[in-house]
Amino acid sequence: MLKLNIIVILLLASFIARANEQKIYTIGVENIDYYPHYAFGHRENSFTKELLESFFSQESIEIKFVPLPLRRFNQWYIKDKIDFKYPDNKDWRAGESSQLDIYYSETVISSVGGSIVLNDNAKYDADNIQRLGTINGFYPTLWIKKIKSNKVQLIEDNNVISVIKLVTRGMVDAINLDYSVVNFHLNEMQNEKQLIMVESLPHRETKFHLSTIKHKALLKKFNVFLDNNQEYIQHLKDKFGFIDDPFKFSPKHTR
């Protein structure tokens, strides 16, 4: 009887230990320096890191950011078994991920992505662009028809600074990136050349979402957090230097 009681006590202790063991939620993030949006493994902080840490801390949930390759973006849930993914957007789904039941949060942040050229080339239109630079793994949907018809040559590199140098050194006619990201890195490089986003070239608003397969209830709490903390989110945007209207820097807007 004593032996049985000891076994029961040990089993009960093991159960309590497991119950008290807090799950660490993994968030898959892109392994590039795309500051001010995110720069995991490259910089100590970013808009994404501070915002998501604020939410999960409020929920008393421990998280771990897992930088993953862009080229494997649509396989993260399948191969890396993550709990959440950021950034994400249903328009980016392709391959295996198109078969998954993925849930998306409300918009975390909106950003204008488009075609960025040297200030001297402000009058460019789409016919002037023969070589386009972007991040290796990004999909320039706005240019895809011209790329597939060989009217535009796509030149890719693995980091933002290298892509910026493609256009400042005249190796491409334009780059297809987020203006806030380009502006930050150009200033950090102390490059004297000015880059502008041109309205006559392809551009569109891009919305970033948090996504999940397993944790729909927690995603709903995140939506409430976003709705209740708009002032805080604007504070973070200001803190990290986001530019809401990239076209205000074009000659057309500064006369």
Residue 247 is predicted with a pLDDT of 87
Q: What is the CATH number of domain 112-204+246-254?
A: 3.40.190.10
Please indicate whether residue 255 or residue 157 has the higher confidence score (pLDDT): 157
Q: What is the pLDDT of residues 213-231, one digit of tens each?
A: 999 999 999 999 999 999 9
Pair of tokens at residue 117: 């050229």
* Average pLDDT over every residue of 37-43: 95
Q: How confident is the model at residue 253 (pLDDT cuts 50, 70, 90)?
A: very low
Quickly state the pLDDT bin for 8 (edges 50, 70, 90).
very low
Can you tell me the distance from the alpha carbon of 162 to that of 131, in angstroms, rounded to the nearest whole number?
15
Report the pLDDT value the prediction gives residue 166, as an integer from 0 to 100.
96
Percentages of the chain per state (helix, strand, coil), in multiples of 5: 45, 25, 30
Q: Is the pLDDT of residue 66 over 90?
A: yes
Q: What is the homologous superfamily of the domain 21-109+206-239 according to CATH?
A: Periplasmic binding protein-like II (3.40.190.10)
Mean pLDDT, residues 170-178: 96
Which of left, alpha, beta for 60 (phi over 0: left; psi -120 to 50: alpha)?
A: left
Confidence of residue 13 (pLDDT cuts 50, 70, 90): very low
For position 96, what pLDDT does the model report? 64
| Omega within 30 of 0 (cis) for the link into 36 | yes
What is the C-alpha to C-alpha distance for residues 202 and 183, in angstroms, rounded to an integer?
Answer: 18
What is the tens place of the pLDDT at every residue in 189-213? Answer: 987 778 999 989 999 899 999 999 9
Whole-number pLDDT of residue 220:
98
pLDDT at 12 over 70: no
What pLDDT is recorded for position 193?
77
Predicted pLDDT at 190:
87
Distances (CA, A) of 60 to 15, 38, 199, 232: 21, 22, 44, 19
pLDDT tens-place string over residues 132-141: 999 998 878 8
CA distance 156 to 145: 17
| pLDDT of res. 20 | 41
The pLDDT score that the predictor gives to residue 252 is: 56
Average pLDDT over every residue of 150-162: 95
Domain with CATH 3.40.190.10 in the chain: 21-109+206-239, 112-204+246-254
